[in-house]
Amino acid sequence: MKKVLAFDIDQTLNVAKTPITDDIAKLLIKCLDHFEICPISGQKFDQFLIQIVDRLKENDVTDTELTHLHLFVAQGTQYYRFDGKEWQQVYNFPLTDEQVQKITVSLEQAAKELNYWEEDKLQPGDEIIENRLSQVTFSALGQKAGTEAKYAWDPDHKKREKIVKRAKELAPEFDFEIGGTTSINAMIPGMNKVFGMTHLLEELKVEKKDILYFGDMTQPGGNDYPVVKMGIDTITVRNHEDTAYALRGILGVL
């Protein structure tokens, strides 16, 4: 019997960068009664609140249930836990300013050389490269672009593979991973989901075999692949409907 259900967020629990549906929220609340629930994603803490926690509250999650929710923010380089009253940061491993600068310059130069720098398509106040403290994230059309435009931009990952290849030449000391629909996450090698999952094992005092992980980018090069390589049991989903289907199966046999 698994003790922990861990989830990628974008395309696994939601439509990328949007709040989870009522269906997923209700299923997650049921799961909180039986498992420790650990979303782990490259996104910032505030997005975890908007996309997941607020939706759980709208579906009447209790404070006690929330104490079983563990937020592994920025690929698990930050960890937040609910103490029954408020969210507490348990740990944080940020990049230095110099590291952020070097990654930012390399991604921008790579995208510009390849003609994939879409600054003209950004919405007001939006940005392509975002400092997420423990990682830097490139979002080709910005954070606020519409879902359809994002899906259409790089469905076969080819553009991002080229950007990654060039950025890696410019800043070889960093790792660049493809995630979401238009994103590339850059971080110190090892500061990927393996880092987050390794800390999860420590913090929750569980073993790899106790965890079941859900992700949509489990192929080599995808941002869920490091979890597969660690030897954690993984369910590959195409979207949140697949995840809902699997969760119904799990809850159905409890």
Give the one residue of 6, 10, 163, 187 binding Mg ion; rule: CB under 5 A: 10
Part in contact with Mg ion (CB under 5 A); list of ranges 6-14, 65-73, 80-88, 199-207: 6-14
* Under rule CB under 5 A, residue 11 binds Mg ion: yes
CA distance 190 to 181: 22
Q: Smallest Cα–Cα separation from 158: which of 184, 127, 137?
A: 184
CA distance 164 to 158: 10
Report the nearest approach of Mg ion to the CB of residue 170 (Å): 26
Residues whose CB is less than 8 angstroms from the CB of residue 97 and which lie 6 or more positions away in sequence, other chains included? none
Q: With H, G, I as helix, E, B as strand and everything else as coil, classify residue 144.
A: coil
Instruction: Please classify residue 14 by burial: count the beta carbons closer than 10 Å to its beta carbon, then call 0-12 exposed, 13-18 middle and 19+ buried.
Output: buried
Cβ proximity of 133 and 191 under 8 Å: no
* Under rule CB under 5 A, residue 154 binds Mg ion: no
Part in contact with Mg ion (CB under 5 A); list of ranges 2-10, 106-114, 236-244, 246-254: 2-10
| 142 vs 179, beta carbon nearer Mg ion | 179
Part in contact with Mg ion (CB under 5 A); list of ranges 115-123, 216-224, 229-237, 245-253: 216-224
* Under rule CB under 5 A, residue 8 binds Mg ion: yes
Part in contact with Mg ion (CB under 5 A); list of ranges 4-12, 71-79, 202-210, 242-250: 4-12
| 14 vs 106, beta carbon nearer Mg ion | 14
Give the one residue of 36, 65, 130, 216 binding Mg ion; rule: CB under 5 A: 216
CA distance 167 to 161: 10
Cβ proximity of 210 and 2 under 8 Å: yes
* Under rule CB under 5 A, residue 137 binds Mg ion: no
Report the interface residues with Mg ion, using CB under 5 A. Answer: 8, 10-11, 216-217
